[in-house]
Amino acid sequence: MTTEVTAERSSPKPEFTDAEAGAKVFPDSTARRYNYYTPAKRKQSHYEDVTVEVQPDPRHYLAQGWLYGFADGRGGYPLTWTALKAWGVDRAEPERYPGSGGKGYEWPAHGWHEFRDPNEEWELTFYRNNSNVVRQINQNVETARQTKAFEQWNPNWVTFVERNVGAWMHVEHGLGLYVFANAQRRAPTNMHNNAISVNSMHRIRFAQDLALYNLTLSEEIPDFDGKAHVETWAEDPAWQGVRRVAEQLTAVDDWAEAVFAANVVFEPLVGELFRSQLVQQAAPGNGDFVTPTVVGAGEFDYASRDLRYTKAMFELLTNDKEFADHNKAVIGGWLEEWVPRCLVAARELQPIWSQPDAKPPRFEDGLDRAKSRFSGILSDLDLTDPKELTQ
Amino acid sequence: MTRQSVAMAHEKIQELAWEPLYHTPVSQYGTDYTFQKAKKKDPLKQVLRSYFPMQEEKDHRVYGAADGAIRGNMFRQVQERWLEWQKLFLSIIPLPEISAARAMPLLFNNVPNPELHNGQAIQMIDEVRHSTIQQNLKRLYMNNYIDPAGFNSSLRNFQNDYCGTIGRQFAEGFITGDAITAASIYLTIVAETAFTNTLFVAMPAEAAANGDYLLPTVFHSVQSDESRHISNGYATLLMALADEGNHQLLERDLRYAWWNNHRVVDAAIGTFIEYGTKDRRKDRESYAEMWRRWIYDDYYRSYLVPLEKYGLVIPHDLIEESWNQIWNKGYVHEVAQFFATGWLANYWRIDPMTDKDFEWFEYKYPGWYDKYGAWWENYSRLSTPNGHHPIVAEDVDYQYPHRCWTCMVPCLVREDMVMAEVDGQMRTYCHEACRWTDVEAFRPTYQGRETPNMGQLIGKREWETLYHGWNWADVVSDMGYVRDDGFTLVAQPHLNLDPKKMWNLDHMRRMGPLLSPNVVLNEMTPEEQQAFHADYIRGGPAGRPAPAEA
């Protein structure tokens, strides 16, 4: 028997270093919390620890200022990218010159830094939640496919889904990419921008959920036209109002206006009107228990997460200790513009209420509920109903 | 899972985009590049239905490892020399990550290809993942490592520290200026495709060798997303190359982005890997060897050179010069020596080098000891307070360097330093390529061509300016580099945590005032400035002042 001799493998040698917390007592040995910000509540949350102050502010610790600017010399995240103001923003950035030192204002320096996402979204929560959503949708659709559930659909309902539910995917996609993904470059703090980027992904995911559901229906339902949504979105007069508003939302320069108009005005008056007052109501009567589960996932994201952070974000501004009146006036102007646009879009949708065989509740009743919901949101934000709501 | 193939699913989601009819999306980020509509494909065909569960699975692995590290008392065997440098690295890196997320919309309006926008949106949320998962790793270190100081103050200190400010370019360069220069060439084509190899692959390997397997766990998970980002950049680059009018800008931007990444990333990561490790096996790769493999072979020769046939002008000279800087001019050693010189203006502890380290450096970099050995012996000698000043204020044959206005790493390879008067101020640059970046590239005209969208270098780029004339005790107090007793410094030039061996404000108070090299330079007459320059470039290596004229 021979023994093969091999050279000793080279590997690092572990060493006992006793570098554990508590091994020694010295200044700072027990200072185990991030000390550069004040938590919103008594104790620093995990969400705050991974989010707060990652995006610097020259008013805090950014003593040398931003290092790279646009062609006009502005760097970072200019506060003027929205017309809204938070307390303290009119104080100039601390001036720096030879021998000036580097101290900024006491944290938080201005009101923008008081915002916290009530959903406390960071990567761990975000991926868990969205993985659960796509898994559940996949299971629902797959079960429906296996049990031939689509065969129960009324013929007109098939047409309704291929055209109208299909058309909605474009709204989610357009807003997700060109309103929310765009806005997450522009807000003054990391807390704002992370919440907005999560909102963006909810919408993009919902758009894809609808598109892939549409693909399944093309495979499962004879004569289901998987491309009808494109033509509906492009040409159907009933959808042109929605399309016009969706495109107009992408054209807004002010990031806060874009988020407000999309989440506070458009969603209750158009989005929820279509999804909750029409699709969710009409589907069961037309033999469809699957579509509401797909649409419901997106609806839940909006109603329980995205609207929640949006309200927290704007509540601070409408109750700001320095600029509440200014902000309410600005937002009032936005409401005067966006409410009529959204109501026109909503009303242009009315013809599709009559398309299913089993009729949903009346359009006017649905619109009343949508207006009432919208009015409630405004009330929560300490805003009054614009006169345009009575149109 | 559903039956649909990824290819079919990806094809289906292409139906989501539409051509606006009533209103055009707002245009907020300009570029001097021009793009024609083209159907460049997203080669990775990512669909969120599979993306989310994939990322969740990766998270399970990361958080499982984190749990295991704590249960398994990982911190009993981590090297403090290594973890201390993570106070700097993990204070910097969450900002570049989140800035990459913020950079994605810069591309939407300028790159007319909705298929790529989908990939860019996924990159956006990947970057949110990276930023928060890294903040979380730092939080874990803060909670479980022996010395939390510096981790606990990291996002304050990184913003005003000179090393952190060098690193901050790696974030701000992504989000401002010409949209394509920033979000495509600087971010995806150079930073992500080239330098994440050393950041997220080479450096974690060194962490593991120093008893820390959490850094590799987190950063390899991060790196697994980078391949998608690289393909985003590649598709955009091919679209840009299709228009010959862009070639001049591409040449400019590759030169700027390459050189700046080299200056910034090689300074920081080179120092961590070479001077932050206790693993001195002679067969482990040096940073120079890693660089040759990851950057020179994998990126330059395998990725960049094949693009030459499409008309891309590759900065061969700067790539060779970067290697020359690392191999012949000791760039990483010069930087590490400077970081250690300026230990008192930091928020981590820097371990002295030992004979074992010297032996390894000499083996890997022949001639190292003659250049740097005596200085590190002085560093060791002066590391605990004993009636002397910190090394920066002692006579150790080291001339405090001027700072490069562009990359903000000091002008350490003394012979390369150049000066220029810009906007009424005399500025110093570490190399001609950095002078070119400020004086020629970041300007509204370039080689006679209007470039109205090009960004600007702004800010108070020399930190010493702000503290010109201040006492050192007041400097470190103002910057927040003091421990919770209000007296002991966070930074130390050794790893001994015995309070009697630690430097404090009284030691700082005894030092002379801090003088800004740039302020002093600008107080000179033009003749004095020229004489100063002539003298400076005769200095070095290892920071030695110029020898006296014969």
Say what the pLDDT of residue B550 is.
64
To the nearest whole Å, the CA of A106 is away from the closest chain B CA by 12
Could you tell me the residue range of the domain that residue B289 belongs to? 54-464
Q: Which of A64, A113, A131, A200 to mutate to test the interface with B (most CBs of B within 10 A)?
A: A64
User: What token pair was written down for B232?
Assistant: 């985003």
Using alpha carbons, select from A309, A189, A303, A181 the residue that is nearest to residue A250: A181
pLDDT tens digits along B474-509: 999 999 999 999 999 999 999 999 999 999 999 999
The answer to whether the CB atoms of B12 and A212 lie below 8 A apart is yes
State what percent of residues in chain B have pLDDT above 70. Answer: 99
- Asked whether residue B1 carries a pLDDT value surpassing 50, the answer given is no
Rounded Cα gap, residues A105 and B111, in angstroms: 40
| Residue A45 within a domain | no
pLDDT of res. A2: 63
Is residue A30 a part of any domain in this protein?
A: no
Q: Please check whether residue B47 is in contact with residue B255, taking contact to mean a CB–CB distance below 8 angstroms.
A: no
Residue B209: closest CA among B298, B135, B274: B274
Nearest chain B Cα to A199, which residue? B125
User: Cα separation of A248 and A239, whole Å?
Assistant: 14
In a domain, A224, yes or no: yes
In a domain, A43, yes or no: no
| Vertex A285: Cα angle to A203 and A358 (nearest 5) | 105
Reported as a pLDDT band with limits 50, 70 and 90, residue B2 is low
User: Would B229 be classed as within a structural domain?
Assistant: yes
pLDDT band at B3 (very low <50, low <70, confident <90, very high): low
Lowest mean pLDDT across A50-64, B5-19, B505-519: B5-19
A-B contacts at Cβ under 8 angstroms: 398
Q: End-to-end distance of chain A based on CA atoms, in angstroms? A: 97
* A residues 189-248 closer than 8 Å to B (CB): 190, 193-194, 197-198, 200-201, 204-205, 207-209, 211-212, 214-216, 219, 226-227, 229-230, 233-234, 240, 243-244, 247-248
For residue B372, is pLDDT > 90?
Answer: yes
Write the pLDDT tens digit of every residue in A171-200: 999 999 999 999 999 999 999 999 999 999
What pLDDT, on the 0 to 100 scale, is given for residue B36?
A: 87
Which of B335, B298, B296 has its CA nearest to residue B319? B296
Among the residue ranges A79-93, A221-235, A328-342, B213-227, the one predicted with the least confidence is B213-227
B22, B95, B484 ranked by CB distance to A247: nearest? B22
pLDDT at residue B460, as a whole number: 96
| AA letter at A83 | A
CATH number at residue B457: 1.10.620.20
Residue A202 in any domain: the answer is yes
- How close, in Å, is residue A379 to chain B by CA atoms? 30
Distance from CA of A386 to the nearest CA of B (A): 25
Q: Specify the higher pLDDT residue, B461 or A14.
A: B461
Contact A327, A377 (CB under 8 A): no
Residue of chain A minimizing CA distance to B20:
A247
More confident residue, A225 or B6: A225
Cα dist. B1→A126, A135, A136, A137, A142 in Å? Answer: 20, 7, 10, 10, 8
At B48 the pLDDT is 95
If we measure between CA atoms, which residue out of A376, A258, A384 comes closest to residue A318? A384
Q: Which chain B residues have a beta carbon less than 8 Å from that of A207?
A: 13, 16
Interval B273-279 mean pLDDT: 97
pLDDT in the model for residue B227: 83
Q: Please check the confidence at residue B515 and state whether its pLDDT lies above 60.
A: yes
- Return the SS3 of B147: coil
Beta strands in chain A (DSSP E): 68-69
In a domain, A80, yes or no: no
Q: How many domains does chain A have?
A: 1
Q: For the segment B377-396, what is each residue's pLDDT rounded down to a tens digit?
A: 999 999 999 999 999 999 99
Residue A3 lies in a domain: no
Report whether pLDDT(B17) > 80: yes
Domain that holds residue A260: 153-390
pLDDT at residue B199, as a whole number: 84
Within 8 A of A266 by CB-CB distance, chain B residues are: none
Cβ–Cβ of A131/B139 closer than 8 Å? no
Residue in B with minimal Cα distance to A219: B4
CB distance B398 to B341 below 8 Å: yes
| Mean pLDDT rounded to a whole number for chain B | 95
Contact check, Cβ <8 Å, A207/B16: yes
Q: Is B49 on the interface with A (CB under 8 A)?
A: yes
Q: Please report whether residue B549 resides in a domain.
A: no
Instruction: List the 149-168 stretch of A: residues with Cβ below 8 A of B.
Output: none
Cα Rg of chain A (Å, integer)? 26
| Cβ proximity of B111 and B236 under 8 Å | yes
What is residue A362's three-state secondary structure? coil
CATH no. for residue A183?
1.10.620.20
CB-based contacts of A229, cutoff 8 Å, min separation 6: A162, A163, A165, A166, A167, A169, A170, A214, B15
Contact B22 A243 (CB under 8 A): yes
Average pLDDT, chain A: 96
Residue B227 lies in a domain: yes
Q: Does residue B374 lie within any of the structural domains? A: yes
For residue B304, pLDDT over 50 is answered with yes
Nearest CB to A26 within list B21, B117, B497: B497
Asked if the structure places residue B71 within a domain, the reply is yes
**Tens-place pLDDT, residues B191-210:** 999 998 888 888 999 999 99
Supply the pLDDT for residue A388. Answer: 87
pLDDT digits (tens, 9 = 90+) for A340-383: 999 999 999 999 999 999 999 999 999 999 999 999 999 999 99
Q: What is the tens place of the pLDDT at every residue in B443-478?
A: 999 999 999 999 999 999 999 999 999 999 999 999
Q: Is the residue at B200 inside a domain?
A: yes
Tally of domains in chain B:
1
Is the pLDDT score of B40 beyond 80?
no
Find the helix or strand (DSSP H, E) in which B221 lies: helix B214-241
- Any domain includes A113: no
Q: Shortest CB distance from B104 goes to which of A27, A66, A181?
A: A181
Looking at residue B152, its amino acid is N
User: Identity (one letter) of the amino acid at A52?
Assistant: V
Q: Is the dihedral of CA A126, A130, A132, A133 positive or negative?
A: positive
